[in-house]
Amino acid sequence: MRSIDLRSDTVTLPTPEMREAISRAELGDDVFGEDPTTLELQTLSAQMMGKEAALLVPSGTMGNLVCTLTHCARGEEVILGDRSHTFLNEAGGMAALGGLHPRTVLNQPDGTIRLEDIESAIRGDNDHFPRTRLICLENTHNFCSGSPLPPEYTDAVVDLARRYRLLVHLDGSRIFNASVALGIDVKRLIRNVDSVTFCLSKGLSAPVGSVVCGSRKFIAETRRTRKVLGGGMRQCGIIAAAGIIALDRMIERIAEDHENAHRLAEGIKNIQGLSIDLEHIRTNIVYFNLADGRLSEEKFLTELGRRGIKFLRSGPSRFRMVTHYGISADDIDEVLRSLSEVLTNHL
Ligand SMILES: Cc1ncc(COP(=O)(O)O)c(C=O)c1O
């Protein structure tokens, strides 16, 4: 039985063109700065992001970690959303490896953090306090329905940061989803932030890799931090080759993932026993709730699993489905049929 895997857009497999590019990639030792394909990917990434320089890293987690560790010194404080991926799902790396102090502030359902909440979390100069150094945002915001952050909001956070001489890092793992959903060039979305991480291996379908971008000076430092973390990757042109195809060919088609997510969300809304808040679903991530206690979460997942449909539980009675390159509109219809069937049979 073919499975329909909606657990994440990280399950995407490389396209035939990526496999072909991987097999003929020109390679060298990137730790010596000699891998031509990696250098090409980094130049392309910096250009597309409108930043001076870029660095390939193995994962989004390492991208965020390399940036936070490069921006901050031990004992300094990082302000970030309480629903942010970096706080919830990156194994506490900034504290474990950098001695950084995460200060969480409430994320609103649209992925923003109120400016006044950020401002009141900024520390004054006092021997008792850690020093605030960095503010982190996430665009799109995974755990807040994949919401895209509008550029005016990011600009307002950067303005606030500048007033207090703070830095801003953006976890833009899905920044191209934000760009496509908002119809705004990615350069504009990240124009004023000090650093950004974006992922090749999510909606863009490359098998591995993320890229961090920032000033030339900052990226030179991140190279060093990446080395400390064991992230120097030698002939990583085989990764970069797929990344170049991802950036050249895979961005526009993300609109299809958003349409499929919308189709899925609309369908879920009409299924008795499920509930969904449609308001913030604008990209490829769909959260919904099992609204009837007669069907247990385990049974729900097992019954759908038996029909080849994979997705994640993301909290009590809450589930997540993510659309991507491997999912078609027909798959969505099949998922909706299966959801209806399971709910009808068990309620
Ligand atoms: C918003 C966000 N940031 C960072 C990451 C981490 O990326 P990776 O799995 O490549 O480490 C993820 C992973 O899903 C994510 O959703």
What single string gives the DSSP state of each residue in 11-56? GPPPPHHHHHHHHT-----GGGT--HHHHHHHHHHHHHHT-SEEEE
**∠ CA 15-52-20, rounded to 5°:** 15
Ligand 1 centroid, distance to 293 Cα (angstroms): 31
State which of 87, 195, 199, 283 you would mutate to test the pocket of ligand 1, scoring each by most atoms of that ligand within 8 A of its C-beta: 199
| SS3 (DSSP) at 116 | helix
Q: How many CB atoms lie under 10 A from the CB of residue 106?
A: 12
Over residues 183-235, the pLDDT tens digits come to 999 999 999 999 999 999 999 999 999 999 999 999 999 999 999 999 999 99
- pLDDT, position 347: 76
- pLDDT, position 293: 82
Cβ proximity of 46 and 213 under 8 Å? yes
Residue nearest to atom 13 of ligand 1 (CA): 60
Residue type, 8: S
The residue with tokens 């908002």 is 182
pLDDT at 346 over 90: no
Number of residues that this document lists for the chain: 347
Cβ proximity of 115 and 160 under 8 Å? yes
What single string gives the DSSP state of each residue in 204-225? T--SS-EEEEE-HHHHHHHHHH
- pLDDT, position 326: 93
- pLDDT, position 90: 98
Q: How many CA atoms lie within 13 A of 275 on its CB side?
A: 7
pLDDT at 253 over 80: yes
pLDDT at 155 over 90: yes
State which of 61, 226, 324 you would mutate to test the pocket of ligand 1, scoring each by most atoms of that ligand within 8 A of its C-beta: 61
- pLDDT, position 329: 98
Ligand 1 centroid, distance to 60 Cα (angstroms): 5
pTM: 0.97
Ligand 1 atom at minimum distance from 171 CA: 3
Question: Using 50, 70 and 90 to split pLDDT, how confident is the model at 179?
Answer: very high
Ligand 1 centroid, distance to 113 Cα (angstroms): 19
Under DSSP, the state recorded for 192 is T
Q: Which tokens hold the place of 281?
A: 């679903």
- pLDDT, position 280: 85
State which of 90, 173, 195, 283 you would mutate to test the pocket of ligand 1, scoring each by most atoms of that ligand within 8 A of its C-beta: 173
pLDDT at 2 over 90: no
Q: Which tokens hold the place of 125?
A: 């100069």
- pLDDT, position 106: 98
pLDDT at 125 over 80: yes
Ligand 1 centroid, distance to 77 Cα (angstroms): 21
CB-based burial of residue 144 (10 Å sphere; 0-12 exposed, 13-18 middle, 19+ buried)? buried
What single string gives the DSSP state of each residue in 280-343? G--SSEEEEEE--TTS-HHHHHHHHHHTTEE-EEEETTEEEEE--TT--HHHHHHHHHHHHHHH
Over residues 38-88, the pLDDT tens digits come to 999 999 999 999 999 999 999 999 999 999 999 999 999 999 999 999 999
Ligand 1 centroid, distance to 136 Cα (angstroms): 14
- pLDDT > 90 in the chain, percent: 97
**pLDDT, mean over the chain:** 97
Name every protein residue with a CB atom under 6 angstroms from any ligand 1 atom: 10, 59-61, 85, 138, 142, 171, 173, 199, 201, 210
Ligand 1 centroid, distance to 64 Cα (angstroms): 9
Distance CA 324, CA 337 (A): 19
> What would the mean pLDDT of 273-296 be, rounded to a whole number?
93
State which of 85, 147, 175 you would mutate to test the pocket of ligand 1, scoring each by most atoms of that ligand within 8 A of its C-beta: 85
Ligand 1 atom at minimum distance from 62 CA: 11
Residue of 63, 325, 319 lying closest to 209 (CA atoms): 63
